[in-house]
Amino acid sequence: MKKSLINMSKLYIVATPIGNMTDITLRAIETLKNVDLILCEDTRVTKNLLNKYDIKKPTMSYHAHSKLAKIDKIIELLEEGKDLALVSDAGTPGISDPGALLVSKIKEYFNNDKVQVVPIPGATAIITALSASGLPTHEFTFLGFLPHKKGRETLFKEIAESKRTVVFYESTHRIIKTLESLVKFSPEKNICVARELTKIYEQFKTGTPSEVLNYFNENKDKVRGEFTVIVSV
């Protein structure tokens, strides 16, 4: 006889703040307080959040470099009837994040039986950036983090030809090169570069690729933090 949804073990996919620590839902706090174990991208980062909200639950690391044995251990805990929460360092797990592999493996192993995967929605840099960008948002394509080398130029050509707004993440170390590529392949498009979203130095810079590139070249102190880049149609 199949276990009912009510009695199933649960894996909660819990969105956490992307910067401002108060950007967390009441449901997320309640969930983290009630699970048996919290799976973290970095336990040290998550501990700061748990301490702020007086959440006293055991944690275990799960990140991009975790071995398959760690997934086996997580599956074992779910088989024992444990309820688990998965969090990333910031934002929604599974979005450009190793959590996607874990969810896939769990669904494959249990065949959607015995374990229920429950999303607890909240902050994500994609939607946060789009909402305040002033660029078209009725249709968009999300590319995650762009490849470092192989296929990178091809991707910029595809962005130039896109009929939809394109959104992607970029690091401090590559943002200037990315802007240079946008100048080369999409010189006439409007773009918005959002950085340090919800944090004290939050900033949105909008204009053509050349205008935005010139700004960051002239303000090197602003070339820091985490970037979300939006390229208009």
Which of 66, 89, 120 is the last residue before a domain boundary? 120
Mean pLDDT computed over 194-223: 97
- Please indicate, yes or no, if residue 83 is contained in any of the structural domains: yes
In angstroms, the first-to-last Cα distance of the chain is: 53
27 shares its domain with 85: yes
What proportion of the chain, given as a percentage, has pLDDT over 70?
A: 97
Angle separating helix axes 209-218 and 175-185, nearest 10 degrees? 150
Domain of residue 133, CATH code: 3.30.950.10
Mean pLDDT computed over 52-81: 92
Above 80 in pLDDT, residue 112? no
In this predicted model, which residue has the larger pLDDT, 140 or 63? 140
Above 50 in pLDDT, residue 19? yes
Query: Distance between CA 55 and CA 85 in Å, rounded?
Result: 13
Q: Mind giving me the DSSP string for the chain? A: -PPPTTTSEEEEEE-B-SS-TT---HHHHHHHHHSSEEEES-HHHHHHHHHHTT----EEE--TT--HHHHHHHHHHHHTT--EEEE-SSB-TTSSSTHHHHHHHHHHHHTTSSEEEEEE----HHHHHHHHH-S--SSEEEEEEPPSSTTHHHHHHHHHH-SSEEEEEE-TTTHHHHHHHHHHH-TTS-EEEEESTTSTT-EEEEE-HHHHHHHHHH-GGGS-S-EEEEE--
* pLDDT-derived band at 3, boundaries 50, 70, 90: very low
Instruction: Give the residue from 213, 214, 140, 211 showing the smallest Cα distance to 178.
Output: 213
In this predicted model, which residue has the larger pLDDT, 6 or 135? 135
Mean pLDDT computed over 122-126: 95
76 shares its domain with 137: no
- Please indicate, yes or no, if residue 34 is contained in any of the structural domains: yes
Mean pLDDT computed over 172-199: 97
Could you tell me the residue range of the domain that residue 113 belongs to?
Answer: 9-120
- Please indicate, yes or no, if residue 133 is contained in any of the structural domains: yes
Above 90 in pLDDT, residue 148? no
Query: Which one-letter amino acid corresponds to residue 88?
Result: S
Q: What is the pLDDT of residues 219-233, one digit of tens each?
A: 999 999 899 999 999
* pLDDT-derived band at 6, boundaries 50, 70, 90: low
33 shares its domain with 69: yes
Which of 87, 120, 153 is the last residue before a domain boundary? 120
- Please indicate, yes or no, if residue 4 is contained in any of the structural domains: no
- Please indicate, yes or no, if residue 164 is contained in any of the structural domains: yes
**What is the pTM (predicted TM-score) of this model?**
0.90
Which of 63, 86, 120 is the last residue before a domain boundary? 120
- Please indicate, yes or no, if residue 1 is contained in any of the structural domains: no
User: What are the φ/ψ torsions at residue 51 (nearest 5 degrees)?
Assistant: -65, -40
User: What are the φ/ψ torsions at residue 22 (nearest 5 degrees)?
Assistant: -90, -5
Domain of residue 54, CATH code: 3.40.1010.10
Report the chain's mean pLDDT, rounded to a whole number: 93
In this predicted model, which residue has the larger pLDDT, 133 or 69? 133
Q: What separation in angstroms does the CA of 139 have from each of 91, 136, 145, 166, 210? A: 21, 7, 19, 9, 24
71 shares its domain with 154: no
Tally of structural domains, the chain: 2
Mean pLDDT computed over 52-73: 90
pLDDT reported for residue 65:
78
pLDDT reported for residue 111:
85
Give yes or no for a contact between 11 and 106, defined as CB atoms under 8 angstroms apart. Answer: yes
- Please indicate, yes or no, if residue 2 is contained in any of the structural domains: no
* pLDDT-derived band at 57, boundaries 50, 70, 90: very high
43 shares its domain with 114: yes
* pLDDT-derived band at 181, boundaries 50, 70, 90: very high
In this predicted model, which residue has the larger pLDDT, 6 or 9? 9
87 shares its domain with 130: no
Above 50 in pLDDT, residue 208? yes
Q: What separation in angstroms does the CA of 102 have from each of 25, 94, 95, 99, 157? A: 23, 9, 12, 5, 32
- Please indicate, yes or no, if residue 3 is contained in any of the structural domains: no
